[in-house]
Amino acid sequence: MGTFLVTVEDARVTFPCKEDEFVMGAMLHAGKGPVRYGCCGGGCGICKMRVVSGDYEVVKPMSRAHISEAQEADGLVLTCCVKPRGDLTLGRWP
Amino acid sequence: MGFKGTLRPGLVQLRVLDFDATLNFYENILGLNKVCETKDGRICLKGYDEFDHHSVTLRKTDKAGLDFVAFKAADADTVEEIKDKVVKFGYKVDEVPANSDQPGFGKRYGWTICTGHRFEVYSEVEPAEQQPMLHNPDIWTKPPRGMRAQRMDHFLLYGPNIMEAERFCQEVFGMYVPEVCNLPDGNRLATWITSSNKPHDLAFVEYPEPGKLHHLGFYLQDWADVGNAADWIALNRLKLDIGPTRHAITRGLSIYFWEPSGNRIETYAGGYTAYPDHPQRVWDADQVGRGLFYYSGELIPSFLEVVT
Protein backbone atom coordinates (compact mmCIF):
# COMPACT_ATOMS: atom_id res chain seq x y z
CA MET A 1 0.00 0.00 0.00
CA GLY A 2 1.56 3.28 -1.13
CA THR A 3 1.61 6.50 0.80
CA PHE A 4 1.97 9.74 -1.13
CA LEU A 5 2.64 13.32 -0.15
CA VAL A 6 0.03 16.00 -0.73
CA THR A 7 1.23 19.60 -0.77
CA VAL A 8 -1.08 22.61 -0.63
CA GLU A 9 0.70 25.23 -2.69
CA ASP A 10 0.06 28.60 -1.11
CA ALA A 11 -0.63 27.24 2.37
CA ARG A 12 2.86 25.68 2.37
CA VAL A 13 1.68 22.51 4.10
CA THR A 14 2.39 18.91 3.24
CA PHE A 15 0.70 15.83 4.64
CA PRO A 16 0.78 12.10 3.85
CA CYS A 17 -2.13 10.39 2.14
CA LYS A 18 -2.42 6.64 1.63
CA GLU A 19 -3.55 5.37 -1.75
CA ASP A 20 -6.82 4.04 -0.27
CA GLU A 21 -7.47 7.26 1.64
CA PHE A 22 -9.48 10.26 0.48
CA VAL A 23 -7.38 13.44 0.20
CA MET A 24 -9.91 15.32 2.35
CA GLY A 25 -9.73 12.64 5.05
CA ALA A 26 -5.94 12.80 5.09
CA MET A 27 -6.08 16.60 5.33
CA LEU A 28 -8.47 16.40 8.30
CA HIS A 29 -6.39 13.65 9.90
CA ALA A 30 -3.20 15.70 9.54
CA GLY A 31 -4.88 18.80 10.93
CA LYS A 32 -3.26 20.78 8.13
CA GLY A 33 -4.59 22.42 5.02
CA PRO A 34 -7.31 24.90 4.20
CA VAL A 35 -10.37 22.64 4.51
CA ARG A 36 -11.41 21.67 8.03
CA TYR A 37 -14.92 20.28 7.61
CA GLY A 38 -17.53 19.26 5.08
CA CYS A 39 -20.01 16.56 4.15
CA CYS A 40 -17.31 14.14 2.90
CA GLY A 41 -19.91 12.79 0.48
CA GLY A 42 -19.31 14.88 -2.63
CA GLY A 43 -22.46 16.89 -2.03
CA CYS A 44 -21.69 20.20 -0.32
CA GLY A 45 -18.71 21.51 -2.33
CA ILE A 46 -16.82 22.97 0.64
CA CYS A 47 -13.66 20.94 -0.09
CA LYS A 48 -13.30 22.08 -3.73
CA MET A 49 -9.64 22.51 -4.76
CA ARG A 50 -7.51 22.52 -7.88
CA VAL A 51 -5.04 19.70 -8.55
CA VAL A 52 -2.03 21.59 -9.86
CA SER A 53 0.02 18.46 -10.50
CA GLY A 54 0.05 14.75 -9.79
CA ASP A 55 -2.08 11.69 -10.52
CA TYR A 56 -5.33 11.01 -8.74
CA GLU A 57 -8.52 9.04 -9.19
CA VAL A 58 -12.06 10.30 -8.71
CA VAL A 59 -13.61 7.34 -6.90
CA LYS A 60 -16.92 8.87 -5.75
CA PRO A 61 -19.37 11.05 -7.70
CA MET A 62 -18.79 14.79 -7.23
CA SER A 63 -21.95 16.93 -7.26
CA ARG A 64 -22.33 18.74 -10.60
CA ALA A 65 -23.69 21.66 -8.57
CA HIS A 66 -20.05 22.26 -7.60
CA ILE A 67 -17.84 20.60 -10.25
CA SER A 68 -18.94 20.95 -13.88
CA GLU A 69 -17.65 18.52 -16.50
CA ALA A 70 -15.35 21.24 -17.84
CA GLN A 71 -14.00 21.95 -14.34
CA GLU A 72 -13.45 18.24 -13.74
CA ALA A 73 -11.48 18.04 -16.99
CA ASP A 74 -9.52 21.08 -15.84
CA GLY A 75 -8.36 19.40 -12.61
CA LEU A 76 -10.88 20.84 -10.16
CA VAL A 77 -11.99 18.28 -7.60
CA LEU A 78 -13.90 17.79 -4.38
CA THR A 79 -11.08 16.45 -2.26
CA CYS A 80 -13.47 14.17 -0.37
CA CYS A 81 -14.04 12.17 -3.56
CA VAL A 82 -10.47 11.62 -4.80
CA LYS A 83 -7.62 9.32 -3.83
CA PRO A 84 -3.97 9.91 -4.75
CA ARG A 85 -2.10 7.80 -7.30
CA GLY A 86 1.15 9.70 -6.76
CA ASP A 87 2.35 12.80 -4.95
CA LEU A 88 -0.10 15.68 -5.41
CA THR A 89 0.14 19.45 -5.39
CA LEU A 90 -3.15 21.23 -4.65
CA GLY A 91 -4.15 24.84 -5.06
CA ARG A 92 -7.00 26.62 -3.35
CA TRP A 93 -10.32 27.30 -5.02
CA PRO A 94 -11.33 29.94 -5.88
CA MET B 1 -53.00 27.69 15.06
CA GLY B 2 -52.07 24.05 14.81
CA PHE B 3 -53.83 21.24 12.93
CA LYS B 4 -55.92 23.85 11.14
CA GLY B 5 -54.39 23.07 7.77
CA THR B 6 -51.54 20.65 7.37
CA LEU B 7 -50.94 17.73 9.73
CA ARG B 8 -47.21 17.17 9.20
CA PRO B 9 -44.49 16.85 6.59
CA GLY B 10 -45.25 13.48 5.05
CA LEU B 11 -42.95 13.03 2.07
CA VAL B 12 -39.58 14.24 0.86
CA GLN B 13 -37.66 13.40 -2.32
CA LEU B 14 -33.89 13.57 -1.97
CA ARG B 15 -31.26 13.72 -4.69
CA VAL B 16 -28.42 11.28 -4.13
CA LEU B 17 -25.11 10.68 -5.90
CA ASP B 18 -23.79 7.28 -4.84
CA PHE B 19 -27.03 5.33 -5.06
CA ASP B 20 -25.97 1.97 -3.65
CA ALA B 21 -24.03 3.37 -0.70
CA THR B 22 -26.77 5.90 0.05
CA LEU B 23 -29.60 3.36 -0.17
CA ASN B 24 -27.62 1.05 2.09
CA PHE B 25 -27.38 3.92 4.58
CA TYR B 26 -31.12 4.68 4.61
CA GLU B 27 -32.14 1.03 4.74
CA ASN B 28 -29.55 -0.71 6.89
CA ILE B 29 -27.95 2.04 8.96
CA LEU B 30 -30.75 4.58 9.53
CA GLY B 31 -33.21 1.68 9.58
CA LEU B 32 -35.93 2.70 7.12
CA ASN B 33 -37.90 -0.01 5.31
CA LYS B 34 -37.76 -0.20 1.52
CA VAL B 35 -41.29 0.03 0.11
CA CYS B 36 -40.92 -0.04 -3.66
CA GLU B 37 -38.91 1.02 -6.68
CA THR B 38 -40.44 3.32 -9.30
CA LYS B 39 -40.26 2.59 -13.05
CA ASP B 40 -37.53 5.23 -13.41
CA GLY B 41 -35.41 3.67 -10.68
CA ARG B 42 -36.19 5.82 -7.65
CA ILE B 43 -36.51 4.05 -4.29
CA CYS B 44 -39.36 4.70 -1.83
CA LEU B 45 -38.77 4.14 1.89
CA LYS B 46 -40.60 4.55 5.21
CA GLY B 47 -39.92 4.45 8.93
CA TYR B 48 -41.13 1.34 10.75
CA ASP B 49 -43.49 3.43 12.90
CA GLU B 50 -45.13 5.27 9.99
CA PHE B 51 -48.57 4.36 8.62
CA ASP B 52 -48.57 5.93 5.15
CA HIS B 53 -47.24 4.34 1.95
CA HIS B 54 -43.80 5.94 2.10
CA SER B 55 -42.15 9.10 3.39
CA VAL B 56 -38.74 9.29 1.70
CA THR B 57 -37.95 8.89 -2.00
CA LEU B 58 -34.34 8.70 -3.24
CA ARG B 59 -33.55 9.88 -6.76
CA LYS B 60 -30.13 9.19 -8.27
CA THR B 61 -28.77 12.21 -10.10
CA ASP B 62 -25.59 14.29 -10.38
CA LYS B 63 -26.38 16.89 -7.68
CA ALA B 64 -27.13 16.21 -4.00
CA GLY B 65 -29.98 18.00 -2.19
CA LEU B 66 -33.74 18.20 -2.03
CA ASP B 67 -36.27 17.88 -4.88
CA PHE B 68 -39.36 18.74 -2.84
CA VAL B 69 -41.15 18.39 0.48
CA ALA B 70 -44.83 17.47 0.73
CA PHE B 71 -47.19 18.16 3.62
CA LYS B 72 -50.17 15.99 4.49
CA ALA B 73 -53.53 17.62 5.19
CA ALA B 74 -56.46 15.91 6.90
CA ASP B 75 -58.80 15.68 3.90
CA ALA B 76 -59.38 16.63 0.27
CA ASP B 77 -61.40 19.75 1.17
CA THR B 78 -58.48 21.08 3.23
CA VAL B 79 -56.13 20.41 0.31
CA GLU B 80 -58.39 22.47 -1.99
CA GLU B 81 -58.60 25.26 0.61
CA ILE B 82 -54.81 25.30 0.93
CA LYS B 83 -54.43 25.38 -2.87
CA ASP B 84 -56.71 28.44 -3.07
CA LYS B 85 -54.73 30.13 -0.28
CA VAL B 86 -51.42 29.44 -2.05
CA VAL B 87 -52.74 31.12 -5.20
CA LYS B 88 -54.04 34.04 -3.15
CA PHE B 89 -50.65 34.29 -1.44
CA GLY B 90 -49.13 34.73 -4.90
CA TYR B 91 -47.41 31.47 -5.81
CA LYS B 92 -48.16 29.58 -9.05
CA VAL B 93 -49.65 26.15 -8.36
CA ASP B 94 -49.37 22.99 -10.47
CA GLU B 95 -51.08 19.64 -10.06
CA VAL B 96 -49.37 16.27 -9.79
CA PRO B 97 -51.84 13.50 -10.74
CA ALA B 98 -52.58 10.60 -8.40
CA ASN B 99 -50.28 7.57 -8.63
CA SER B 100 -47.93 9.25 -11.07
CA ASP B 101 -44.38 9.90 -9.83
CA GLN B 102 -45.05 8.75 -6.24
CA PRO B 103 -46.65 5.30 -5.97
CA GLY B 104 -49.52 5.17 -3.48
CA PHE B 105 -50.04 8.93 -3.34
CA GLY B 106 -53.20 10.70 -4.48
CA LYS B 107 -53.31 14.06 -6.20
CA ARG B 108 -50.79 16.64 -4.99
CA TYR B 109 -50.58 20.36 -5.56
CA GLY B 110 -47.12 21.91 -5.77
CA TRP B 111 -45.50 25.34 -5.96
CA THR B 112 -42.18 27.04 -5.26
CA ILE B 113 -41.93 29.40 -2.29
CA CYS B 114 -39.70 32.46 -1.94
CA THR B 115 -36.80 30.46 -0.49
CA GLY B 116 -36.60 28.44 -3.72
CA HIS B 117 -37.99 25.22 -2.25
CA ARG B 118 -40.79 23.24 -3.87
CA PHE B 119 -43.63 22.60 -1.42
CA GLU B 120 -46.53 20.24 -2.05
CA VAL B 121 -49.76 19.36 -0.26
CA TYR B 122 -51.86 16.18 -0.38
CA SER B 123 -54.31 14.24 1.76
CA GLU B 124 -54.87 10.95 -0.02
CA VAL B 125 -52.23 8.28 0.34
CA GLU B 126 -52.53 4.51 0.54
CA PRO B 127 -51.71 2.83 3.83
CA ALA B 128 -48.36 1.12 3.95
CA GLU B 129 -48.17 -2.65 3.76
CA GLN B 130 -45.93 -2.69 6.85
CA GLN B 131 -47.66 -0.67 9.55
CA PRO B 132 -47.38 -0.44 13.31
CA MET B 133 -49.78 -2.92 14.96
CA LEU B 134 -53.24 -1.56 15.76
CA HIS B 135 -55.06 -4.23 17.76
CA ASN B 136 -53.56 -4.93 21.19
CA PRO B 137 -50.39 -3.59 19.64
CA ASP B 138 -46.86 -4.59 20.46
CA ILE B 139 -44.23 -1.88 20.14
CA TRP B 140 -42.95 -3.39 16.90
CA THR B 141 -43.29 -6.57 14.90
CA LYS B 142 -39.72 -6.87 13.59
CA PRO B 143 -36.83 -5.47 15.63
CA PRO B 144 -35.91 -2.00 14.32
CA ARG B 145 -32.57 -1.96 12.48
CA GLY B 146 -29.47 0.17 12.87
CA MET B 147 -30.21 3.64 14.25
CA ARG B 148 -33.85 2.58 14.76
CA ALA B 149 -35.35 5.70 13.13
CA GLN B 150 -39.08 5.66 13.86
CA ARG B 151 -40.23 8.23 11.32
CA MET B 152 -39.30 11.25 9.26
CA ASP B 153 -39.67 14.21 11.60
CA HIS B 154 -38.65 17.60 10.18
CA PHE B 155 -36.28 19.49 7.88
CA LEU B 156 -34.21 22.67 8.02
CA LEU B 157 -34.17 24.65 4.78
CA TYR B 158 -31.74 27.42 3.81
CA GLY B 159 -32.82 30.16 1.42
CA PRO B 160 -33.65 33.85 1.03
CA ASN B 161 -36.51 35.83 2.58
CA ILE B 162 -37.49 33.46 5.37
CA MET B 163 -39.82 36.02 6.93
CA GLU B 164 -42.09 35.57 3.91
CA ALA B 165 -41.71 31.79 4.18
CA GLU B 166 -42.70 31.94 7.86
CA ARG B 167 -45.75 34.07 7.04
CA PHE B 168 -46.65 31.61 4.26
CA CYS B 169 -46.61 28.65 6.65
CA GLN B 170 -48.84 30.52 9.09
CA GLU B 171 -51.33 32.00 6.63
CA VAL B 172 -51.58 29.10 4.17
CA PHE B 173 -50.76 25.97 6.19
CA GLY B 174 -52.27 27.21 9.49
CA MET B 175 -48.99 26.52 11.28
CA TYR B 176 -47.55 28.44 14.26
CA VAL B 177 -44.04 29.51 15.23
CA PRO B 178 -42.87 28.30 18.67
CA GLU B 179 -39.35 29.73 18.38
CA VAL B 180 -37.41 32.32 16.38
CA CYS B 181 -33.90 33.81 16.22
CA ASN B 182 -33.56 37.49 15.31
CA LEU B 183 -30.69 39.57 13.96
CA PRO B 184 -29.90 42.90 15.68
CA ASP B 185 -31.90 44.72 12.98
CA GLY B 186 -34.98 42.71 13.94
CA ASN B 187 -34.97 40.51 10.85
CA ARG B 188 -35.12 36.75 11.21
CA LEU B 189 -31.96 34.70 11.15
CA ALA B 190 -33.94 31.51 11.76
CA THR B 191 -37.48 30.31 12.45
CA TRP B 192 -38.97 27.05 13.77
CA ILE B 193 -42.48 26.28 12.53
CA THR B 194 -45.02 23.55 13.34
CA SER B 195 -48.55 22.39 12.67
CA SER B 196 -48.77 20.12 15.70
CA ASN B 197 -47.32 19.52 19.17
CA LYS B 198 -43.87 18.93 17.73
CA PRO B 199 -41.56 21.91 18.34
CA HIS B 200 -40.87 22.00 14.61
CA ASP B 201 -42.18 20.41 11.43
CA LEU B 202 -39.77 22.57 9.49
CA ALA B 203 -37.31 25.39 10.07
CA PHE B 204 -35.65 28.02 7.92
CA VAL B 205 -32.33 29.86 8.12
CA GLU B 206 -31.81 33.02 6.06
CA TYR B 207 -29.28 32.26 3.31
CA PRO B 208 -28.51 34.01 0.01
CA GLU B 209 -28.66 30.90 -2.22
CA PRO B 210 -32.14 29.47 -2.85
CA GLY B 211 -33.40 25.92 -2.44
CA LYS B 212 -30.79 24.51 -0.08
CA LEU B 213 -31.20 21.60 2.33
CA HIS B 214 -29.44 21.91 5.67
CA HIS B 215 -30.70 18.65 7.13
CA LEU B 216 -33.45 16.10 7.17
CA GLY B 217 -34.42 14.99 10.67
CA PHE B 218 -35.58 11.54 11.77
CA TYR B 219 -37.15 10.74 15.11
CA LEU B 220 -35.57 8.37 17.61
CA GLN B 221 -37.12 7.03 20.80
CA ASP B 222 -34.81 8.58 23.37
CA TRP B 223 -31.32 9.72 24.42
CA ALA B 224 -30.06 6.12 24.49
CA ASP B 225 -30.98 5.79 20.82
CA VAL B 226 -29.05 9.01 20.04
CA GLY B 227 -26.01 7.23 21.54
CA ASN B 228 -26.84 4.14 19.48
CA ALA B 229 -26.93 6.35 16.36
CA ALA B 230 -23.47 7.66 17.30
CA ASP B 231 -22.21 4.07 17.45
CA TRP B 232 -23.55 3.38 13.94
CA ILE B 233 -21.91 6.58 12.65
CA ALA B 234 -18.56 5.43 14.05
CA LEU B 235 -18.95 1.80 12.93
CA ASN B 236 -19.73 2.85 9.36
CA ARG B 237 -17.16 5.68 9.16
CA LEU B 238 -19.89 8.22 8.40
CA LYS B 239 -18.79 11.85 8.71
CA LEU B 240 -19.98 13.27 12.01
CA ASP B 241 -20.98 16.93 12.08
CA ILE B 242 -21.79 17.41 15.79
CA GLY B 243 -23.22 15.53 18.74
CA PRO B 244 -24.53 13.77 20.64
CA THR B 245 -25.70 17.08 22.03
CA ARG B 246 -28.76 18.95 23.26
CA HIS B 247 -30.50 21.82 21.54
CA ALA B 248 -31.81 24.58 23.78
CA ILE B 249 -33.93 25.50 20.76
CA THR B 250 -36.69 22.81 20.60
CA ARG B 251 -34.85 21.11 23.54
CA GLY B 252 -34.19 18.16 21.24
CA LEU B 253 -31.48 15.54 21.86
CA SER B 254 -29.51 15.27 18.72
CA ILE B 255 -26.65 14.08 16.56
CA TYR B 256 -25.84 15.40 13.06
CA PHE B 257 -23.88 13.64 10.35
CA TRP B 258 -23.74 13.28 6.58
CA GLU B 259 -25.08 10.35 4.57
CA PRO B 260 -22.91 8.99 1.74
CA SER B 261 -24.22 11.53 -0.82
CA GLY B 262 -23.45 14.48 1.44
CA ASN B 263 -26.98 15.32 2.60
CA ARG B 264 -26.91 16.15 6.32
CA ILE B 265 -29.06 13.94 8.52
CA GLU B 266 -30.18 14.60 12.08
CA THR B 267 -31.35 11.83 14.32
CA TYR B 268 -33.35 13.48 17.06
CA ALA B 269 -35.31 12.59 20.18
CA GLY B 270 -37.34 14.47 22.77
CA GLY B 271 -38.09 18.14 22.31
CA TYR B 272 -40.65 20.12 24.24
CA THR B 273 -44.38 19.82 23.68
CA ALA B 274 -45.52 22.85 21.71
CA TYR B 275 -48.97 24.44 21.93
CA PRO B 276 -50.26 27.22 19.72
CA ASP B 277 -51.29 29.33 22.73
CA HIS B 278 -47.83 29.24 24.33
CA PRO B 279 -45.75 32.43 24.09
CA GLN B 280 -43.02 32.43 21.45
CA ARG B 281 -39.40 31.82 22.50
CA VAL B 282 -37.01 34.40 21.05
CA TRP B 283 -33.23 34.09 20.56
CA ASP B 284 -30.78 36.88 19.82
CA ALA B 285 -28.42 35.98 16.97
CA ASP B 286 -25.34 36.33 19.21
CA GLN B 287 -26.75 33.61 21.50
CA VAL B 288 -27.65 31.11 18.78
CA GLY B 289 -24.54 28.97 19.49
CA ARG B 290 -25.98 28.17 22.91
CA GLY B 291 -29.42 27.74 21.36
CA LEU B 292 -28.19 25.14 18.89
CA PHE B 293 -25.50 23.37 20.92
CA TYR B 294 -26.42 23.86 24.54
CA TYR B 295 -23.52 21.98 26.12
CA SER B 296 -20.61 23.67 24.31
CA GLY B 297 -22.43 26.94 23.70
CA GLU B 298 -20.33 27.41 20.56
CA LEU B 299 -21.53 27.53 17.00
CA ILE B 300 -19.48 25.42 14.56
CA PRO B 301 -18.67 26.81 11.10
CA SER B 302 -20.04 23.80 9.23
CA PHE B 303 -23.50 24.45 10.63
CA LEU B 304 -23.84 27.75 8.83
CA GLU B 305 -21.86 26.88 5.70
CA VAL B 306 -22.41 23.27 4.64
CA VAL B 307 -25.65 22.66 2.73
CA THR B 308 -26.72 20.65 -0.30
Contact residues, chain A, for B65 at CB < 8 Å? 43, 65
Using CA atoms, how far apart are residues A40 and B174, in angstroms rounded to an integer? 38
Instruction: Give B162's DSSP letter.
Output: H
What is the three-class DSSP state of B10?
strand
DSSP H or E stretch at residue B59? strand B56-60
| Residue pLDDT, tens place only, B17-43 | 999 999 999 999 999 999 999 999 999
Q: What is the mean pLDDT of residues B260-270?
A: 98
pLDDT confidence of residue B2:
53
Bridge-based pairing of strands B65-73 and B6-16 is antiparallel
Q: How far is A87 from chain B (nearest CA, A)?
A: 25
| ipTM score above 0.85 | yes
Residues within 8 A of B (CB atoms), A 32-71 only: 36-44, 46, 60-65
Which of B14, B258, B264, B307 to mutate to test binding with chain A, by most A CBs within 10 Å of its CB? B258
Domain A3-92 has CATH 3.10.20.30: yes
Contact assessment for residue A20 and residue A2, using Cβ atoms and an 8 Å cutoff: no
Q: Could you tell me the pLDDT band of residue B1, with boundaries at 50, 70 and 90?
A: very low
| Distance set, CA B149 to CA B28, B50, B225, B286 (Å) | 11, 10, 9, 33
Q: Where in chain B are the domains?
A: 6-122, 151-305
Contact assessment for residue A19 and residue A85, using Cβ atoms and an 8 Å cutoff: yes
Q: Where in chain A are the domains?
A: 3-92
Distance of CA B82 to the CA centre of its chain: 20
Q: In angstroms, how far is the first alpha carbon of chain B from the final one? A: 31
Q: Could you tell me the pLDDT band of residue B289, with boundaries at 50, 70 and 90?
A: very high
| Residue pLDDT, tens place only, A44-79 | 999 999 999 999 999 999 999 999 999 999 999 999
DSSP H or E stretch at residue B21? helix B19-24
Bridge-based pairing of strands A3-8 and A88-92 is parallel
Using CA atoms, how far apart are residues A69 and B134, in angstroms rounded to an integer? 52
Contact residues, chain B, for A62 at CB < 8 Å? 17
Q: Are A42 and B62 inside 8 Å of each other by CB?
A: no
Superfamily covering domain B6-122: 2,3-Dihydroxybiphenyl 1,2-Dioxygenase, domain 1 (3.10.180.10)
Q: How far is B307 from chain A (nearest CA, A)?
A: 6
Using CA atoms, how far apart are residues A61 and B61, in angstroms rounded to an integer? 10
Dmax of chain B from CA atoms? 55
Q: Are A46 and B261 inside 8 Å of each other by CB?
A: no
Instruction: Give B286's DSSP letter.
Output: G
Contact B308/A at CB under 8 A: yes
Label residue B53 exposed, middle or buried (CB < 10 Å: 0-12, 13-18, 19+).
buried
CATH: 3.30.2310.20, 3.20.20.60, 3.10.180.10, 3.40.50.450. Which one for B151-305? Answer: 3.10.180.10
